[in-house]
Amino acid sequence: MSYEIPNVGAITLDKLDSIEKMLSQFIQSKTDRNGMDEESFFTVKKTAEFLDVSEPYVYTLKKKLPHIIRGGRLYFKKSDLVEYLEKGRVIPDPSKRRSRH
């Protein structure tokens, strides 16, 4: 009777490849299109760039947005900024569209 011993090395490599793919998918699901973590923290400058507003305007927004102050510096969480933008979303009513004639 002949017994074939499985190729343990090949099986291990296949399993490692599978784990690597799963980790890659997990990391991609946690990052946005720019490769930034959804829970990234932005400085005033980065917040201004993200929202396309001036830095002084960001200081006025701190009254409306959750923020963190550490070491005298102001930080905003990216997910809070996205939520702020989403709250301003306007969905047009098709029945109120004007004719171009």
Residues 83 and 46 in one domain: yes
Q: Are 84 and 66 in contact (CB under 8 A)?
A: no
Residues 71 and 85 in one domain: yes
> Looking at the 3D structure of the chain, how many domains does it have?
2
> What would the mean pLDDT of 19-28 be, rounded to a whole number?
76
Burial of 22 (0-12, 13-18, 19+ CB in 10 A): exposed
Query: What length is written for the chain?
Result: 101
State both tokens at 86: 């989403």
Task: Give the CA radius of gyration of the chain.
Answer: 25
Task: Please write the tens of the pLDDT for every residue from 36-71.
Answer: 555 789 999 999 999 999 999 999 988 989 999 999
Residues 42 and 73 in one domain: yes
Residues 62 and 83 in one domain: yes
Q: Which domain holds residue 77?
A: 38-90
pTM of the model: 0.55
Determine what percent of the chain is predicted with pLDDT higher than 70.
77
